Amino acid sequence: MLKNKLVVGNWKVHFTVPESTVAIEKLKKSLGTVKKVEIVICPGFLDIYPASAELIDTNLVLGAQNVFQKEEGAYTGEVSVVALAHFVKYVLVGHSERRLLFSESDRVIAQKAAVVVAHGLTPIICVGETLHEKEDGLSKIVVVNQVEAALSHLTALEIENIVIAYEPVWAIGSGQLCQVSDAEKMAQDLRNVIKALYGEKAAKGVRILYGGSVDQKNAKSFAQSKTLDGVLVGGASLDHKAFVEIVKEFESKKK
């Protein structure tokens, strides 16, 4: 089955609730006619509830930027998948900022991916090597290990429907874009590993995105890729014009 391309905006820690309402209003106006691309916005937790009402009957869906690995309990300050499940379809899991700044381990990321799937949501599992790892020639081994660990609690059938985002850490927010051919090579390596571990259906079904310094100027080359299933956009998703242009690059491409 052909799946639509996916363009995901990760707003990170930007926008107050009123600001996010304005941004969503602009996106709705500009993207109402888009049909072939699945558009996902990941605002901050506080914005999710009002945004969910604003997005009813639109072609935009919501994602969360993080989730706690347990469903409920005495975990002050965390956000449960049970609460999120009413409002979002996707959840970013294991973003490199969570791994590096909040010490999220592969073990915790695997638990998060599993709890997200168990509640009928789709994890967007983020993986990527640091600059040091890239310079040491370790990109493939690092990323493959991250993926193997993150998928360890999922079945082949579940993996068929998840999303993986290859986001090299050195490309995030740096303006240093990964070559499309390198991102495609990594995506192919990941599919090969998934095929070996979980079978062909899982390898074909899983969607693999690229993220890291994607903007309206370079989006076209990713939109044209036959190997990549879309992009995960940080900074450029905060500028509604830039984000709309990125989505439209994907909309105008045939799969």
Check if 95 is active-site.
yes
In the bound state with ligand 13P, the residue whose beta carbon lies nearer, of 129 and 167, is: 167
- Name which position in 232, 242, 246, 247 contacts ligand 13P (CB under 6 A): 232
DSSP category for residue 83? H
Catalytic residue among 104, 167, 249, 251: 167
Q: What's the CA gap between 93 and 88, in Å, rounded?
A: 14
Judged by CB under 6 A, which of 173, 181, 241, 255 binds ligand 13P? 173
x-or-dash string of contact with ligand 13P, 22-61, rule CB under 6 A: ----------------------------------------
- Shortest reach from residue 6's CB to ligand 13P, in Å: 13
Q: Give the other-Cβ count within 10 Å of 107's Cβ.
A: 13
Strand ranges (E), 11-141: 37-42, 60-64, 90-93, 122-127
List the one residue from 117, 208, 235, 244 that touches ligand 13P (CB under 6 A). 235
Provide the minimum distance between the beta carbon of 237 and ligand 13P in the complex, in angstroms, as a whole number: 7
Centre a 10 Å sphere on the Cβ of residue 77 and count the other Cβ atoms it contains. 5
Residue 163 found at the interface with ligand 13P (CB under 6 A): no
Q: Computed over its alpha carbons, how large is the radius of gyration of the chain?
A: 17
Q: 61: which strand partners?
A: 40
- Give the E-state strand segments of 128-248 in sequence order: 163-166, 207-211, 230-233
Binding-site ranges for ligand 13P (CB under 6 A): 10, 95, 167, 172-173, 211-214, 232-236
